[in-house]
Amino acid sequence: MQTQKLFEKIQLGNIELENRIIMAPMTRARAGKEMIANDLMAEYYNQRASAGLIITEASAISEEAIGWNEAPGAFTEEQMRGWKKTVDAVHAQNGKIFLQLWHCGRASHSSFHPKSGLSVSASAIAINEEYIHTPTGKQAHEVPRALELDEIKRIVNDYAQAAKRAIETGFDGVEIHGANGYLIDQFSQSTSNIRTDAYGGSIENRSRFLFEIVDAVCKTIDSKKVGIRISPNGIYNGMGSKDFRELFLYVAKNLNQYNLAYLHVMDGLGFGFHDLGEPMTLKEFKNVFKGLVIGNVGYTKESAEDAISNGDADMIAFGRPFISNPDLVERFKNNLELNPEAPMNLWYCPGKEGYTDWQNHQDIVAVS
Ligand X SMILES: Cc1cc2nc3c(=O)[nH]c(=O)nc-3n(C[C@H](O)[C@H](O)[C@H](O)COP(=O)(O)O)c2cc1C
Which residues are designated catalytic?
182
Among 117, 270, 277, 351, binds ligand X (CB under 6 A): 270
Among 320, 329, 332, 339, binds ligand X (CB under 6 A): 320
Among 229, 286, 301, 331, binds ligand X (CB under 6 A): 229
What is the C-alpha to C-alpha distance for residues 252 and 193, in angstroms, rounded to an integer? 20
The answer to whether 100 contacts ligand X (rule: CB under 6 A) is yes
The answer to whether 181 contacts ligand X (rule: CB under 6 A) is no
**Cβ–Cβ < 8 Å for 188, 179:** no
Instruction: Name which of 146 and 177 has its Cβ closer to ligand X.
Output: 177
The answer to whether 57 contacts ligand X (rule: CB under 6 A) is yes
Which phi and psi angles does 141 have, rounded to 5°? -65, 140
Among 27, 79, 186, 220, binds ligand X (CB under 6 A): 27
Beta 226-230 vs 173-177: how paired, if at all? parallel
The answer to whether 86 contacts ligand X (rule: CB under 6 A) is no
Nearest CA to 72 out of 51, 105, 100 is that of 100
The answer to whether 296 contacts ligand X (rule: CB under 6 A) is yes
The answer to whether 298 contacts ligand X (rule: CB under 6 A) is yes
What is the C-alpha to C-alpha distance for residues 332 and 3, in angstroms, rounded to an integer? 9
The answer to whether 69 contacts ligand X (rule: CB under 6 A) is no
Q: Indicate the residue type of 277.
A: G
The answer to whether 179 contacts ligand X (rule: CB under 6 A) is yes
What is the C-alpha to C-alpha distance for residues 55 and 23, in angstroms, rounded to an integer? 6
Determine if residue 51 is left, alpha or beta; phi over 0 gives left, psi from -120 to 50 gives alpha, anything else beta.
Answer: beta
**Beta-bridge partner residues of 133:** 138
- Shortest distance, position 177 Cβ to ligand X, whole Å: 5
Q: Which one of the spans 14-22, 113-121, 189-197, 296-304 is the region binding ligand X (CB under 6 A)?
A: 296-304
Residue nearest to ligand X (CB): 319
Element (H, E) at 168: helix 149-169
What is the C-alpha to C-alpha distance for residues 110 and 67, in angstroms, rounded to an integer? 9
Q: Give me the residues that bind ligand X (CB under 6 A), please.
A: 24-27, 57-58, 100, 177, 179-180, 229, 266, 270-271, 296-299, 318-321, 347
